[in-house]
Chain A
């Protein structure tokens, strides 16, 4: 595993998944019965939707619990103190998808861990996760920042859940998969 700091509160861990784990998750994802999913509730319009599937904590199965354990076993300086997650959201973005930026929670102390179980990915294929700013910590400087994180095979991205972020469509016909563990800190 290779840890790099994207920001003071965002990290990227490359090779978080081994090749066999990527294969395991790929096989699992192939069996998902996707639904057309919206990222955030839209009140007065229909937002663009894309393929997604979510599993709430009480319904975690062996595979969600396996990678939950792997996340909780991470140990590095700054690693968020999390004991549980509220849900796992699987996303499948394809060519021409245009997901909207959103926050996963606005409660301070919420976190999102995004795993990219793609067997192969080239940066020019698109599908980046765009990481923007938090409405809870708006400054002129951080509003102007956007980081693009390519969904490289086996990569893990850790961001505060209150940071505005979005997935991206791809430039190729290969679907881009992600698996987001979300801790909303609502209770």
Chain B
């Protein structure tokens, strides 16, 4: 048979079988990816810059990506690069917070467009939150084999709050 050497195949999705022509499983053991989970949250709690969204519950996790779900957090059980997508229905009062931030193992992440940070105007200054929802998508590197994820309010709104009615987080391991 011509051609010896290295056969490179890249990453194999978790659910993709690799078989020989006799149907035997020859899938290599290694890194799996495209593992995904969906977590719902929200109970109309008022969230400010030092309080967390709560009432987390696991909706979808066929590969066991999430190792624990608590009232206001969930734990991811593998290091790697993740896409975290977040969306939440909100209401605001006279003075509301500007949005939300992720916290990973106690480290608060930059605001970016997850919150109203880039929208300017009253919301950024702590004024009325004029949007019925908030959210965004960011990539994060989880350097630990166990990462606790929480969502807290933005610091852009000073002492204001935003009411987190309900929402969802989807998390996908992309590397």
Given A41-B113, A43-B139, A138-B60, A146:B170 Cβ within 8 A: no
Flag whether A180 is at the interface (Cβ < 8 A).
no
* Contact yes or no, B138 A143, CB < 8 A: no
Flag whether B36 is at the interface (Cβ < 8 A).
yes
**Distance A44 CA – B175 CA, assembled complex (angstroms):** 15
Determine which of A45, A135, A138 lies in contact with B141 in the assembled complex, contact meaning CB atoms within 8 Å: A45
* Contact yes or no, B139 A133, CB < 8 A: no
The closest CB in chain B to the CB of A48 belongs to B175
- Interface residues in A35-53 by Cβ distance below 8 A to B read 40-45, 47
* Contact yes or no, B16 A144, CB < 8 A: yes
- Interface residues in B47-87 by Cβ distance below 8 A to A read 60, 62, 81, 83, 85, 87
The closest CB in chain B to the CB of A148 belongs to B10
The smallest beta-carbon distance between B83 and chain A, in angstroms, is 7
* Contact yes or no, A41 B34, CB < 8 A: no
Scan B145-175; emit 1 where CB is below 8 A from any A CB, else 0: 0000000000000000000000000101011
* Contact yes or no, A103 B83, CB < 8 A: yes
* Contact yes or no, A135 B174, CB < 8 A: no
* Contact yes or no, A106 B139, CB < 8 A: no
**Distance A106 CA – B86 CA, assembled complex (angstroms):** 10
The closest CB in chain B to the CB of A169 belongs to B10
Flag whether B93 is at the interface (Cβ < 8 A).
no
**Distance A96 CA – B141 CA, assembled complex (angstroms):** 21
The smallest beta-carbon distance between B154 and chain A, in angstroms, is 14
Given A133-B34, A143-B62, A138:B139 Cβ within 8 A: no
* Contact yes or no, B13 A146, CB < 8 A: yes
Determine which of A102, A140, A145 lies in contact with B83 in the assembled complex, contact meaning CB atoms within 8 Å: A102
Flag whether A132 is at the interface (Cβ < 8 A).
yes
The smallest beta-carbon distance between B102 and chain A, in angstroms, is 8
Flag whether A89 is at the interface (Cβ < 8 A).
no
The smallest beta-carbon distance between B129 and chain A, in angstroms, is 18
The closest CB in chain B to the CB of A47 belongs to B139
- By a CB distance below 8 angstroms, the chain A residues around B102 are 43
Flag whether A101 is at the interface (Cβ < 8 A).
yes
Flag whether B137 is at the interface (Cβ < 8 A).
yes
* Contact yes or no, B172 A42, CB < 8 A: no
Flag whether A100 is at the interface (Cβ < 8 A).
yes
**Distance A183 CA – B136 CA, assembled complex (angstroms):** 16
Given A41-B112, A101-B174, A143-B34, A164:B140 Cβ within 8 A: no
- By a CB distance below 8 angstroms, the chain A residues around B81 are 45, 47, 100
**Distance A7 CA – B141 CA, assembled complex (angstroms):** 31
**Distance A133 CA – B83 CA, assembled complex (angstroms):** 13
Determine which of B85, B87, B175 lies in contact with A100 in the assembled complex, contact meaning CB atoms within 8 Å: B175
**Distance A132 CA – B175 CA, assembled complex (angstroms):** 14
Determine which of A44, A102, A103, A144 lies in contact with B14 in the assembled complex, contact meaning CB atoms within 8 Å: A144
Residues of chain A at the chain B interface (Cβ within 8 Å): 40-45, 47, 100-103, 106, 132-133, 135-136, 138, 140, 143-146, 164
Residues of chain B at the chain A interface (Cβ within 8 Å): 13-16, 34, 36, 38, 60, 62, 81, 83, 85, 87, 102, 104, 109-110, 112-113, 135, 137-141, 170, 172, 174-175
